[in-house]
Amino acid sequence: MKDVDFCVIGGGFAGTTAALRLKQAGHSVTMLEARDRLGGRTFTETRPDGSWIDRGGAWVGPGQDRIQALMREYGVPAYKQYTGGEAMMLVDGKEYRYSGTIPWSMSPWVAMNLGAALLDLGHLCKTIPLDAPWTAEQAERWDRLTLEHWLNTHVVSKAAHELLEAALAGAYTSAGSEVSLLFALYQMASGGGPAFMLGVEDGAQDSRPVGGMGAVYRPMAAELGDAVLLSRPVHRIEQDVGGVTVHAVDHIVRARRAIVAVPLAIASQIHYEPMLPVDRSFLHQRMPSGAIIKTSVVYDEPFWRTAGLSGQSAAPGSPATITIDACTDTGRPGILCVITEGPVARRIGAFDTADRRHTILGELAERFGERARTPEDYIEQDWSTERYSGGGMLSHAPTGVLTQFGHALRPPCGRIHWAGTESSAVMCGWVDGAVRSGERAAHEVREYEMAGAAGPARS
Ligand SMILES: Cc1cc2nc3c(=O)[nH]c(=O)nc-3n(C[C@H](O)[C@H](O)[C@H](O)COP(=O)(O)OP(=O)(O)OC[C@H]3O[C@@H](n4cnc5c(N)ncnc54)[C@H](O)[C@@H]3O)c2cc1C
């Protein structure tokens, strides 16, 4: 049995940041990670030619100050997302090309509907207290409604409705009928509103770290050294008045406190002894993740750029729901990222690999020309089948959850503290939120230790 000050469970950005900040503050720490790699819902793979792809989280934007601080700490520069050329919308079998954020080329009616809905949502977001969205004036009402209900009652144009449902519910990789309106407003508000969430330039897709997210989490892991133990899924955490005993496969850690930094959707896979307070335990049962497949399609060059296209396209309901240029900072090779979200991701996830590839490449060929059918490499990542993620991109709240159980998102349960992007009031759901939650939890365990707070608590 290893004896340390603090034990961190989960080596995504939240856990790795928490462990790093504790080690930097002079504490002994062990971080137990279930997989044989760090990064969690980020996963950078280096290709034989030295280029890299991000199989999970990739983009950063303005206001995401804590991930950017880590990038500076490790000397990782950012590069801007390619935005040259035209983007595409494909709705009801028609293709519309446009520049900027709003696809005016569709029809003034559709564009007006889109613009007005985004403005309305932006106003609603401003009324949400980020630290406690369940206390918003309209919280009870909005938490009874789904995102789909709001779209049905506020967006008259069918095309605008489809596009918004794909864009907004897509963020939760679920159907709009599965997501509470209050949760959607809160999550968007935590990033500054829908314009940030959907935006490329100055939005959440503004830039990427050179070398991918791995260029940030790998040096963090190197600094942590032997504090990191891989392939150690934790299955049981016991707490008593003196500390916690964390049981992982082939390893037991005794510590003063534990930080659990695993996605909410799978946090109930760990057996907590004594049982967690009811509201926390029920929260674990009520925050599912959706389905998402991220495919990186590699060509010798970004041929769409020379054809005057940005690589960005959106086609609601299509197996290639969203595409975006995902080249590295050198622009070679050409990499197109294809995102398949929600119900359609579950549907094509059941195809065999060859059929799925054929389907996706067919969609790309229709949008970008026949050359898209013959890539050099094709790398797919189905997050729905990842045991230690439970889906992606983030755990969301269905109706009624935030108002009843949201208060249990952050407070520690005795000697067990909580991190993870879902627990961040700012940039909830993004890598930046994960980093913030890790820093908050590291600060919290030290404060509680200094205050001599005991556990286990059952409040
Ligand atoms: C396809 C995709 C695209 C995305 N795109 C973006 C983007 O462009 N920009 C952005 O900011 N965000 C993006 N995100 C979201 C972002 O990746 C996440 O918000 C962030 O990585 C979450 O970090 P985390 O540390 O909270 O959780 P995770 O990264 O999920 O880390 C949790 C860790 O806990 C481990 N674990 C689980 N169970 C156990 C156990 N029992 N014992 C020990 N360890 C365990 C897991 O293996 C994992 O390493 C994307 C996500 C996905 C899936």
H/E stretch holding 112 reads helix 108-125
Ligand 1: atom nearest CA of 427 is 11
Q: Does residue 69 belong to any structural domain of this protein? A: no
205 and 334 in a common domain: yes
Residues forming beta bridges with residue 98, ordered by sequence position: 87
122 and 158 in a common domain: yes
Q: Look at residue 30 in the predicted model and tell me its pLDDT.
A: 98
pLDDT beneath 70: ranges in the chain? 454-459
Ligand 1: atom nearest CA of 422 is 26
CA of 143 to the centre of ligand 1 (A): 26
Domain end (from 390, 424, 442): 390
296 and 423 in a common domain: no
Give how far Cα 407 sits from Cα of 51, 190, 283, Å.
43, 16, 9
Determine how many CB atoms are found less than 10 A away from the CB of residue 450: 8
Q: Which residue has the tokens 């856990």?
A: 15
Q: Does residue 137 belong to any structural domain of this protein? A: yes
The size of the chain, in residues, is 459
Q: Does residue 400 belong to any structural domain of this protein? A: no
Q: How far is CA 131 from the centre of its chain?
A: 19
241 and 347 in a common domain: no
418 and 272 in a common domain: yes
3-state secondary structure 386-406: CCCCCCEEEECCCCCHHHHHH
Domain end (from 145, 174, 198): 198
Q: Does residue 54 belong to any structural domain of this protein? A: no
3-state secondary structure of 161: helix
Structural domain range at position 304: 80-101+201-209+292-390
Atom 34 of ligand 1: nearest residue by CA position: 10
Q: Does residue 286 belong to any structural domain of this protein? A: no
352 and 227 in a common domain: no
Q: What is the CATH number of the domain that holds 245?
A: 3.50.50.60
Q: What is the CATH number of the domain that holds 171?
A: 1.10.405.10
Number of domains in the chain: 3
Mutate which of 262, 341, 379, 417 for ligand 1? The one with the most ligand atoms within 8 Å of its CB, which is 262
Q: Which of 344, 335, 291 is nearest to 314 (CA)?
A: 344
Distance CA 81, CA 302 (A): 13
- 324, 53 contact by CB (below 8 A): no
328 and 205 in a common domain: yes
CA of 241 to the centre of ligand 1 (A): 31
Q: What is the CATH number of the domain that holds 367?
A: 3.90.660.10
Q: Does residue 55 belong to any structural domain of this protein? A: no
161 and 16 in a common domain: no
Give how far Cα 287 sits from Cα of 170, 402, 422, Å.
16, 9, 9
CA of 20 to the centre of ligand 1 (A): 17
- 76, 217 contact by CB (below 8 A): no
Determine how many CB atoms are found less than 10 A away from the CB of residue 69: 12
205 and 298 in a common domain: yes
Ligand 1: atom nearest CA of 205 is 8
- 31, 224 contact by CB (below 8 A): yes
CA of 291 to the centre of ligand 1 (A): 14
418 and 353 in a common domain: no
314 and 422 in a common domain: no
Ligand 1: atom nearest CA of 41 is 29
Distance CA 424, CA 405 (A): 15
Distance CA 344, CA 141 (A): 30
Domain end (from 172, 198, 224): 198
Backbone angles phi, psi at 271, to 5 degrees: -90, 120
Pairing mode of beta strands 52-54, 228-229: unpaired
Atom 36 of ligand 1: nearest residue by CA position: 10
Atom 50 of ligand 1: nearest residue by CA position: 57
Q: Look at residue 456 in the predicted model and tell me its pLDDT.
A: 55
CA of 71 to the centre of ligand 1 (A): 18
Alpha carbons within 13 angstroms on the beta-carbon side of residue 76 total: 22
- 174, 396 contact by CB (below 8 A): yes
Ligand 1: atom nearest CA of 233 is 42
CA of 389 to the centre of ligand 1 (A): 7
Q: Does residue 75 belong to any structural domain of this protein? A: no
Token digits for 323? 């595409």
Token digits for 224? 């942590």
Residue type, 386: E
144 and 118 in a common domain: yes
CA of 307 to the centre of ligand 1 (A): 35
| Protein residues with CB under 6 Å of any ligand 1 atom | 9-15, 32-35, 40-42, 56-59, 233-234, 261-263, 266, 269-270, 292, 294, 383, 388-389, 392-394, 420-421, 429-432, 434
What torsion, rounded to 10 degrees, do the Cα atoms 92, 97, 103, 106 define?
-50
Atom 38 of ligand 1: nearest residue by CA position: 388
Ligand 1: atom nearest CA of 67 is 11
Q: Look at residue 216 in the predicted model and tell me its pLDDT.
A: 98
Q: Does residue 398 belong to any structural domain of this protein? A: no
Residue type, 429: G
